[in-house]
Amino acid sequence: MTIPHDFQAARRMPTCGVAHGMSRRHALVATLAALGAGLVRAQPAWSPKGPVRIVVPFAAGGTSDIIARIVAVRLAQALGQPVLVDNRVGAGGNIGIASVARAAPDGQTLLLVSSAFVTNPALFADKPPYDPLRQFAPVSLAVSSPDVIVVPAASPLTSLSALIDAAKRRPGALTYSTPGKGNSVHLGGELLWQRAGIELLHVPYNGAAPAVQAVLGGQVDCALTALPAAKAHIAAGTLRVLAVGSRARWAELPQVPTVAESGFAGYRSETMQALFAPAGTPTAAIERLHTEVRRILALDEVQRQTRELGFETVASLPADLAARVAEDVPRWTAVATRARIRAD
């Protein structure tokens, strides 16, 4: 073996006990520092110190509640702590949402919420109940479903362009139902009518089921609703879908065009369910929660369950969800302002 020249020279240099001891101590310190760095890197991921609470700002049995429970049972297994679903109902979701904004940012309080998260502030422009851009830390999108425009199967309106042409010929004469005033479906409809330059009479109902029944019974010309509420009637052939609000065609309705490809580039109106934590939640907690939620949403069983509800899983990076919120809040606020839609 050849010893490097510098090392041979070093061996010939005189040394003393102090210098030799210092060298050994330096080497020991360096070794311990390296081991310490390795231990820091090897530390386990963030874990909650107690039960985790998922606040759902809507009643038990609704879509948000069902999705939360699908996630909660598996998240509890992953975190090794109970994960409880807390239904905090009232004020169109504002009570539950605002409670999470005020919660301790320790990773043990989460919010699973629908598109109401980004539309509610538009209805309270003078005094928003919470700030979706500053009071929350995004964790992940969970599921999404397109809003759809549907007519009875026997309707002469066979396309979105036919609906728009009819509305232009008879301004204000055509009617459309939605699951209620000021929700994301209603605002999505108003956005489309604004871009098309038409006016339809809005007939709000208390929920998606009666809104769909209204179009089936001929009380209104068309309905706007999230796909899950109309899915069974579409499959039965009693409703026709004129267009979907997603950016791409929906896998289960490949023959139905999007609103965007029907002449309204960039249009998007979807019903989402997403997870947030209070602002200030440690990055390590957000990363762990995001990782576990993303893994859960990729499970075959979970994807099957969400498809049966009419949704698809769409796990996203926290930054992607933040970008979506930043895009949607001003967009829906502008639509609501122009249409003069306010909370009752």
* Run of H or E including 22: helix 17-42
Separation between Cα atoms, residue 208 and residue 186, nearest integer Å: 11
The amino acid present at 113, given as its one-letter code, is: V
- Residue 180: Cβ within 10 Å count: 16
User: Residue 168 corresponds to which amino acid?
Assistant: K
pTM of the predicted structure, to 2 decimals: 0.84
Domains 52-144+271-339 and 146-262 share a fold: yes
Residue whose entry in the numeric block shows the structure tokens 């991921």: 45
Give yes or no for a contact between 322 and 138, defined as CB atoms under 8 angstroms apart: yes
Domain locations along the chain: 52-144+271-339, 146-262
**What class has domain 146-262?**
alpha beta
CATH fold of 52-144+271-339, please?
Answer: D-Maltodextrin-Binding Protein; domain 2 (3.40.190)
Tokens describing residue 156: 């002469």
Q: What burial class does residue 339 get, using C-beta atoms within 10 Å of its C-beta: 0-12 exposed, 13-18 middle, 19+ buried?
A: middle
**Tell me, what amino acid is at 339?**
A
pLDDT of the chain along its 344 residues, tens only? 333 333 344 334 444 443 444 444 444 444 434 444 443 444 458 999 999 999 999 999 999 999 999 999 999 999 999 999 999 999 999 999 999 999 999 999 999 999 999 999 999 877 889 999 999 999 999 999 999 999 999 999 999 999 999 999 999 999 999 999 999 999 999 999 999 999 999 999 999 999 999 999 999 999 999 999 999 999 999 999 999 999 999 999 999 999 999 999 999 999 999 999 999 999 999 999 999 999 999 999 999 999 999 999 998 999 999 999 999 999 999 999 999 999 87
